[in-house]
Amino acid sequence: MQNRNLEEQFTLFSIDTEFETPAEKTASDGVEWVSFRDLVPEIDDTGYLTHAIYAYPAKFIPQIVRYAINTYTKERDWIIDPFAGSGTVGVEAYLCKRNAVLLDLNLLLNHIMPLKVYRGKGRLHEADLHKLLEGMRASKHRFIPDWSNVDYWYAPEMLEVLSYYWGFIHQADDDVFSSIIKAALLKASKRFSNTEDRTPKLARSKRKLSAIAELLKENWRAQLDEMVDTLSLKTLRSLNDFVVYTQAHHNDRTPEIQWQGGVDSSYITVPRECDALITSPPYLQAQEYIRSTKMELFWLGHTEEEIRELSRLEIPYRKTDRIVQTQTLANVREMLTRDDLRKRLDSYFCHTVNALENAMKQLKPNAAACIFVGNPRIDGITVELWRILAEYFTERGWTFEKVYEDRIKTRKLFGARKNKNPDGMKSEFLLILRQP
């Protein structure tokens, strides 16, 4: 398919992430601008209910997922997400009485979902949580992660205390209260480590080492305990709110959410036919999610070999088994002057398309595929991911329906990192394809 035909066929709808005045919403170029906040007024906080329990890089925004669910599915439909990440699609599907199949390379998904789609019916009592926290602080059991350089990431005093806390929680009954404390300990274990807790990847910095040195001069253990207690209590209250919400809305049936972490979405057998795909593939230049969460995975009990094997399957480190061809992608490939960047580009599209195709094969006729992507830059060249995916799938019989443009006005960027695109992406896109 030629780009000229795509321009004729593809209609752009711009969706802003911030409220604008009516004058600002008037587009002189004929593009229709709308806001997800306007489209989904029932969600006024991206971290509402259980969405904020776990930290995860590049989370899918729930307003976008809710809009896709409301527009392209109906109650009791099955949704598939082959890049499930932090499980946003699963949570929104559950809240909207849809079923979902979630797949992801990262094992963290298996730990995230039991809390984020908590199925308990009764109210959780704070006294039970406080009792378990008191037991944790008196722990006599130690747990040291199977991590050869764990000492590099922790001051000895902090590692010792954390090892007793984790030792207790690994010995405790595997119930909702221990899961609540685990979620809090994951955030605290990163905060009280030598890594920059303000950036996704593990990285020691002078700023963080200095902050840890200052903490060690203070009553840092009291601060650690306060953080774990506060986060645990906040999660418990979020789960109680979740129970209240679902009991009010799920009086007839409980949606089914299936998840598998630690799997290759490109080749795993999708367990069932689905009514829609809603997903957000990894960014072209930021695909190292397992490396970003390996500290959490080690504390959760996963081994170094286990994490290493999965890390080898992440896109930047994985060989291609085919070269994806579209006109726009060929143009980008031709402009790149470095072989290593061409290889990364080819690896990204090979394995992203493989995973999408594997999931889309299980969609029913006329089902929608909703794919949320950005347009990143590689070596200064903009890569229109949505257009490349649209070209690829329409050439294989899929019908292009529309693409929504989300104009990003506010984004948290990490200034300390080396970044050839320091301003970040200007827009993200929700591409809608229809199964023939």
In a domain, 38, yes or no: yes
Arithmetic mean of pLDDT, 265-292 = 90
Residue 170 belongs to what domain range? 126-242
Cross-strand bridge partners of residue 32? 13
Output the domain CATH number for residue 376. 3.40.50.150
Across 18-32, 124-138, 171-185, least confident range? 18-32
| pLDDT tens per residue, range 123-157 | 999 999 999 999 999 999 999 999 999 999 999 99
My answer on whether 274 and 373 are in the same domain is: yes
Q: Using an 8 Å Cβ cutoff, are 362 and 270 in contact?
A: yes
My answer on whether 213 and 276 are in the same domain is: no
My answer on whether 171 and 58 are in the same domain is: no
At residue 33 the predicted structure's pLDDT band, cuts being 50, 70 and 90, is: low
My answer on whether 395 and 276 are in the same domain is: yes
Instruction: DSSP for 26-66, please give it.
Output: --TTSPEEEEHHHH-TT---TTTTTTTSS--TTPPPHHHHH
My answer on whether 281 and 425 are in the same domain is: yes
In a domain, 202, yes or no: yes
| pLDDT tens per residue, range 41-52 | 999 999 999 999
Arithmetic mean of pLDDT, 1-7 = 45
Q: Using an 8 Å Cβ cutoff, are 356 and 282 in contact?
A: no
CA 267 to mean position of chain CA atoms: 20
My answer on whether 235 and 281 are in the same domain is: no
Q: Using an 8 Å Cβ cutoff, are 359 and 265 in contact?
A: yes
Please give the tally of structural domains in the chain. 2
Percent of the chain past pLDDT 70, that is, above it, reads 87
In a domain, 197, yes or no: yes
Q: Using an 8 Å Cβ cutoff, are 284 and 376 in contact?
A: yes
**Residue 364 half-sphere exposure, CB side, CA atoms within 13 Å?**
11
My answer on whether 270 and 389 are in the same domain is: yes
pLDDT at 436: 82
Torsion angle in degrees (nearest 10) through CA of 191, 196, 197, 203 = -110
| pLDDT tens per residue, range 87-127 | 999 999 999 999 999 999 999 999 999 999 999 999 999 99
pLDDT at 287: 63
Tokens of 245: 């919400």
pLDDT at 179: 98
Domain final position from 209, 242, 275: 242
In a domain, 306, yes or no: no
pLDDT at 160: 98
Q: Phi then psi for 430, rounded to 5 degrees?
A: -105, 105
Percent of the chain past pLDDT 90, that is, above it, reads 74
My answer on whether 238 and 372 are in the same domain is: no
At residue 425 the predicted structure's pLDDT band, cuts being 50, 70 and 90, is: low
At residue 262 the predicted structure's pLDDT band, cuts being 50, 70 and 90, is: very high
pLDDT at 291: 86
The single-letter code of the amino acid at 94 is Y
In a domain, 116, yes or no: no
In a domain, 121, yes or no: no
In a domain, 302, yes or no: no
Tokens of 333: 């490939």
In a domain, 155, yes or no: yes
Distance CA 177, CA 22 (A): 48
Tokens of 160: 């010792």
My answer on whether 402 and 264 are in the same domain is: yes
My answer on whether 7 and 130 are in the same domain is: no
Across 27-31, 93-97, 381-385, 391-395, least confident range? 27-31
Q: Is 341 exposed, middle or buried (0-12, 13-18, 19+ CB in 10 A)?
A: middle
Q: Which of 26-30, 228-232, 409-413 has the highest mean pLDDT?
A: 228-232
The mean pLDDT of the chain is: 88
My answer on whether 63 and 164 are in the same domain is: no
For the entire predicted model, the pTM comes to 0.91
My answer on whether 351 and 409 are in the same domain is: yes
At residue 408 the predicted structure's pLDDT band, cuts being 50, 70 and 90, is: low
Nearby residues of 401 by Cβ (< 8 Å), 6 or more positions away: 368, 432, 433, 434
Arithmetic mean of pLDDT, 221-235 = 98
| pLDDT tens per residue, range 62-90 | 999 999 999 999 999 999 999 999 999 99
Residue 428's SS3 state is strand
